[in-house]
Amino acid sequence: MNSIQMLNSINEAREFDFTSEDFSFIQDVMLRETGISISDCKTSMVYARLVRRLRKTGISSFRSYLSFVNCNLDERISFINALTTNKTQFFREKHHFEYLSNKIIPEWQQKKKRRIRIWSVGCSTGEEPYSIASTLAYHGLLSRAYDCKILATDLNTHVLDVAKHGYYSVDAINLIPRSYLNQWFIFCCGDEQEILKVNFLLQKHITFKLLNIIETWPHKGYFDVIFCRNVMIYFEKNIQQLLISRFWQRLGKDGILFIGHAESIGDMGSRFENLGQTMFRKD
């Protein structure tokens, strides 16, 4: 069954008609606006996420809704928010944090490096930058003796709002090292259940910014470490290579790039030293 036949079959049980032309339009908008390539097999996922926007806006067809997206910037932001994937957790791919803790930070301390700059690309709801910050704090790098800052960016306005507030389900305690949890996280009472709050001492070292990474980067300085994990898998190969080249340019001397387990640096491998386990040092 081809994609058109599949859509026609599925549409019989759907609240709104969703044509192959609608889906192609969505693919084109997402590729143009965000660089994200939506696979042909994601029709059900796209429908399920966008149908909520149709209900919320009161628009009665996908064709009318997509016309609205095309001419209304606020709705285009909501459209992008709905379609961007934001799965994350504290200390995800923990070998990266172990390397930061056991190798990179001791090297900085040995060299008496005081100015530290780290970028969390595609930070989602903030678990990654807070994991980075708590690792730095554990080793004393968030003290007044250091000038340490973390930039955390995402193109989804909703997840950035969650990240800035720093409230999480208590289920996250199983993912956070006990020595970090006791010092840098606070248990609070929510409306109906206990929640976990990030300590302000971590938050003040992180700047959360809205950024589409395929567009111009406003920051001009260099980074010591860039985390870009499970972000590039949604981009086409040529965009992935362009991004890695730009990361290389933004890394300082001996800077480290962390990428996701399903990602590769491809032809840019000659410009990095491969440290293993998706960790690369700028040559």
**Residue 8, domain member (yes or no):** yes
Contacts of 93 (CB under 8 A, 6+ apart): 229, 258, 260, 261, 278
pLDDT score, position 136: 98
Name the residue range of residue 65's domain.
Answer: 3-83
- Do the annotations mark residue 88 as ligand-binding? yes
Residue 85 burial (CB < 10 Å; 0-12/13-18/19+)? middle
Q: Hey, what amino acid is at 133?
A: A
**Residue 252, domain member (yes or no):** yes
- Do the annotations mark residue 2 as ligand-binding? no
Dihedral sign computed on CA atoms, order 179, 184, 186, 187: negative
pTM: 0.88
- Please give the positions annotated as active site: 49, 154
pLDDT score, position 1: 52
**Residue 121, domain member (yes or no):** yes
Last residue of a domain, one of 30, 50, 83: 83
CB 82 within 8 A of CB 52: yes
The answer to whether residues 78 and 99 belong to one domain is no
The residue with tokens 């590039």 is 232
Q: Hey, what amino acid is at 135?
A: T
- Do the annotations mark residue 271 as ligand-binding? no
pLDDT score, position 16: 86
Contacts of 192 (CB under 8 A, 6+ apart): none
pLDDT score, position 220: 87
The answer to whether residues 237 and 128 belong to one domain is yes
Residue 130's domain is classified under what CATH number?
3.40.50.150
- Do the annotations mark residue 75 as ligand-binding? no
The answer to whether residues 224 and 253 belong to one domain is yes
Mean pLDDT of each 10-residue bin along the chain, 283 residues long? 55 77 94 90 92 94 95 92 87 97 98 97 97 97 96 96 94 91 86 83 96 92 96 92 97 97 92 97 95
Q: Which two tokens stand for residue 194?
A: 């206990």
The answer to whether residues 30 and 117 belong to one domain is no
Residue 174 burial (CB count, 10 A): 9
Q: Hey, what amino acid is at 151?
A: L
pLDDT score, position 87: 79
**Residue 235, domain member (yes or no):** yes
Last residue of a domain, one of 56, 83, 110: 83
